[in-house]
């Protein structure tokens, strides 16, 4: 029973998230042989204030 967590910055549409979940589920099923109904995908969204690269928060450098 695979569990997949996708962490990403907030701002994607519901349609984009549906497409992501569908494609991740398909890829996991194809590569592991797990039945699609046993695959769980979690989407964890972060705001730009909680994400940093090279010592700078995303919200401080992105308008």
Active-site residue numbers?
2
Helix/strand/coil (H/E/C) assignment for every residue in 4-41: EEEEEECCCCHHHHHHHHHHHHHHHHHHHCCCHHHCEE
Give dist(CA 29, CA 2) in Å, integer. 9
Residue range of the domain that includes 40: 3-61
Per-residue pLDDT band for 41 (boundaries 50, 70, 90) equals very high
pTM for this predicted structure = 0.83
Per-residue pLDDT band for 63 (boundaries 50, 70, 90) equals low
Q: What phi and psi, each to the nearest 5 degrees, are found at residue 2?
A: -70, 140
Q: Which residues, in sequence order, are bridge partners of residue 3?
A: 40
How many distinct structural domains can be found in the chain? 1
């Amino acid at each position: 029973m695979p569990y997949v967590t996708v962490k990403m910055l907030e701002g994607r549409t519901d349609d984009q998230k549906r497409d992501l979940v569908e494609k991740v589920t398909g890829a996991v099923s194809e590569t592991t042989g797990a039945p699609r109904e046993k695959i769980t995908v979690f989407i964890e969204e972060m705001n730009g204030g909680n994400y940093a690269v090279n010592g700078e928060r995303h919200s401080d450098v992105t308008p």
